[in-house]
Amino acid sequence: MSTRHRSAAQLFDLVMGPVLLVVGLAGFIVSAGFATGEPNGSDLVIFEVNGWHNLVHVASGLLLLAGVASWQRARMVTLLFAATYGLVTIIGWIDGNDVIGLIPVDTADNLLHTFLTLAALAFGLAPAPDGAHTEHLMQSGTGAAGATDGRGRVTGPAELDREDRFRRGTGVTGDREGHG
């Protein structure tokens, strides 16, 4: 699928997933400590990290990459990411030093988490790509959006309604699949 047919959530996941994965792995070079209570972190550029923080970045990156395949999954994953990072952001701003005694944070972390939360919300709530809802429903071959006719063509609800009116008016019987 080309990027012009991807949803905003898929693009977010496609960009941020690898970034968070790489940042998490690089963080282990700087600090692999798993202290609890009042954790101390080491600086990765301007961000404070430790083993727990790195694991969160790796897990977040993998989660986002799992959402890339479809716009529906990307939307769900991106909004889950936004909710989780939103909670981390709130806790980080309130405490100022760590999140639940595991993840060290500083002002730079809190600003980045705030930005990521807002971006994930914006991308996750953006509309689906043009026609994505219709394509998904019509690919199923049944349901309100369409069904297949006897020749395997996908037909929409308006066409099915016209066919039903034609059959009723001419006395032709049979199901929508042309068996009858």
Question: What pLDDT score does 179 carry?
Answer: 52
- Give the DSSP H or E segment for 22: helix 8-30
Torsion angles phi and psi, residue 141, rounded to 5: 85, -5
Say how many domains are in the chain.
Answer: 2
One domain for residues 117 and 136? no
Residue 178 falls within a domain, yes or no? no
One domain for residues 77 and 102? yes
Three-state DSSP at 42 gives: strand
pTM: 0.69
pLDDT mean values, one per 10 residues, the chain (180 residues): 78 97 94 80 84 95 96 96 97 92 92 97 91 53 52 59 62 53
Point out the domain boundary residue: 125, 140, 155. 125
One domain for residues 76 and 164? no
Domain range holding 62?
3-125
Question: What pLDDT score does 161 carry?
Answer: 64
Query: What is the number of alpha carbons within 13 Å of residue 26 lying toward its C-beta?
Result: 12
One domain for residues 77 and 157? no
Torsion angles phi and psi, residue 33, rounded to 5: -75, 140
Report the percent of the chain where pLDDT is more than 90.
53
One domain for residues 15 and 79? yes
Three-state DSSP at 104 gives: strand
